[in-house]
Amino acid sequence: MERASLIAEITASLVEGVKDLYGIFDIGVGEDNLRDEPSPWSVEGPGPGEWIDVGPNAVMLESAGVPYVRYELWDGEPPDDGSGECAWTGEVYLSTGRISAMSMVPGFPHHNAVFDLGRRATTWRLRVRWKFLDNDREPLFPRYIYEVDLFTLQFWLPPF
């Protein structure tokens, strides 16, 4: 009989550069016209001196530079490697599990690549790490990027 791994592993990931980052939204709420689900637009965003605000169907991030986002889906709690200048860990409810970085050019929202977590109506454990990168030595992001804000969002299911 094979034993389950005691070390959590990434099961899916996606990295993208995002111009005019507004936040990470569960885009399925709007696309599927889920009127009874919380609107990601109701999450106001980080307050003064804060870099993150989390609410149902949204993770709002403050970026002063060019943002890059890395999404990771884990099969268990990922190890906390301590990387990043700031970190936040908690829970987020996602109605459809289809998330995308939202860009906001005055008055015109646009979603970027979609990362599908594969589960609807789920409260996920989430760790978000932010760090400013001023060189090309970050192994989980493309080598050609520098002087950017790197956000890593790690999702996993809570233990039962």
Task: Write down the residue that tokens 């200048």 correspond to.
Answer: 85
pLDDT per residue as tens digits for the range 54-64? 999 999 999 88
Q: What is the mean pLDDT of residues 57-82?
A: 92
pTM of the model: 0.88
Whether 87 and 72 have beta carbons less than 8 Å apart is answered as no
Q: Which residues touch 42 (CB under 8 Å, ≥6 apart)?
A: 55, 56, 58
pLDDT at 5: 54
- DSSP label at 139? T
Residue 9 has pLDDT above 70, yes or no: yes
Residue with the larger pLDDT of the pair 82 and 103: 103
Task: Write down the residue that tokens 């996920």 correspond to.
Answer: 124
What proportion of the chain, given as a percentage, has pLDDT over 70?
Answer: 94
Residue 6 has pLDDT above 80, yes or no: no
CA distance 26 to 93: 9
